[in-house]
Amino acid sequence: MYTELHRPLRAVPLLRDVLNAYDATHTREMALYLSWLAVAYADANEPEAAAGTAERVIGLSSDVTSERTAERVRVVLKSLRRYADVPEVAELLAEHEAA
């Protein structure tokens, strides 16, 4: 996947298309795809979009019991640390990293 290769310009449009067509009742899968989108936004130097997407990932992940989504939340938060000076990111990290 382009996200794992740190190719956000390729990853973001593909992930948006997938998410727009995805059945929102599949909470775990939505959280996973959104986690890759959040990381792609971070890699694309879009910390505000990454933080907003991360918030959705965290919200969805809290509704499911899945070690994989929990791990993806940790990956997303780690990818956002380099933007800790951006207010949206700082707020998200302060709220969720301690948990």
CA separation for the pair 93, 51 (Å, rounded): 9
Q: What is the mean pLDDT of residues 69-78?
A: 95
CA separation for the pair 89, 5 (Å, rounded): 23
pTM of this prediction?
0.87
With bands split at pLDDT 50, 70 and 90, how would you rate the model's confidence at 30?
Answer: very high
CA angle, corner 92, sides to 54 and 46, nearest 5? Answer: 55
74: left (phi over 0), alpha (psi -120 to 50) or beta: alpha
Flag whether pLDDT at 99 surpasses 60. no
Predicted pLDDT at 24: 73
Flag whether pLDDT at 71 surpasses 70. yes
If we measure between CA atoms, which residue out of 77, 62, 76, 4 comes closest to residue 28? 62
CB 88 within 8 A of CB 51: yes
